[in-house]
Structure 1
Amino acid sequence: MAELVIVRHGQAAFGSDNYDRLSDLGRRQARAVAAHLRRTGWVPDRMVTGTLDRQVETLAEMGFDGTTERHAGFNEYDFHDLLNTRFGGQAPEPVMQDRKTHFRTLRDTILEWQQDHIAGAAESWGEFRGRVADALGFATDTDARRVLVVSSGGVIGQIVASTLGAPDPMMMELNLQVKNSSLHRFIFSRGRMMLAEFNATPHFDAAPDLLSYS
């Protein structure tokens, strides 16, 4: 049996012109989760990220030695595209700038997307599900015993939901719970996947000021 640990990227720059970069807090979160893994003796022998800057930067801040692989299937769904498409080309400013409004609207938008009600989106729900499954297969098709993946909340929500055989809407319920730099641990062997840990943040126990969701 081998272990797959998926870490959500550190906090990104919500509301900025370029969301796809880590904030100062996000960098501290990445270093903290890496320090926790080292303290527990968990050092990866394979590392994979998506291709988004905030994912790549998170793994770089974690500072593990070794080669890093990338698979675009671990990239987050394009929430800017989905929101803009839903609102006919441009989401209202409060949806993009106010956190509470943003996540309430995003939840409703994803539920519509899952039912193929967001016509014209750059990626369909079926395409998202398929590429996440491909990325997971890529990461676990290995002789490595400890695989570290850095990904994003929606992807993590989908992997957890599919592993548990949960219905599609559960993906978004899980997505909205996922904390920045949280740990999600799976056991895998010969195509089988079992969830062992979800949304763990022991690295925040002594530093609660590091906690963030977006």
Structure 2
Amino acid sequence: VPEHGPEGAKQPIVTVGFSGHRMGFLVDAFVGEQQIVIKPLGSHLRKVDNVAGVTVLGAGEVVPILNVPDLMSNARTRSGQRVAGIAERAERQGPGKILICEDSFTTRELERSIFEAAGYEVETAADGSIGFSKLKDGLQVDAVVTDVQMPNMTGFELTRAIKNDASLAVIPVVIVTSLERDEEKAEGIAAGADAYITKSVFNQDTLLDTVERLIR
């Protein structure tokens, strides 16, 4: 929250409640109110902190739906060290930029929202081939986050292409996939991945911590 806002300005607060307890959260603005249908994240993303599911708005935009019990619990217990660390890094170096390569629209937009909420700029691609073309066309990013099972160019192929290109090899690549067998993990690391995260134990804290560690 800014220490000094415009004179007379009011900071909007959303009040939520669960199990007899209530808590207020500062927000940037009130956009509107509407009825929605909440869609589950699916088996490929079993648990994302503070997110109960997603909904698709009329324009096709995928919007995460907050999990109120999670939100209240985490607000009480978390120290905010990551937020402070990312803010400090952004002040020193400017916001980091991430390229997300993921063919699932829902997963791609969810990962985008996680990184944008943490202060990153995000570029997306629907498969590895599109992502690699963007990099070769001059897109400057601090890290690539990629799925494996995608059309045209898999995440393993994308990782090898990045690491075999002298102009791109320094970019950290994080694989986020449902492929959990040891031989699949070994193939990802052999391709040059800097980190390998399985979707069955996907956690936004792990994803953000991993990327922050690699680009720090």
TM-score range, shorter chain: 0.3 to 0.5
The structure richer in helix per residue is 1
TM-score normalised per structure 1: 0.33
> Relative contact order (C-alpha < 8 Å, sep 6+): which is higher?
1
Max Rg structure:
2
The structure richer in strand per residue is 2
TM-score normalised per structure 2: 0.33
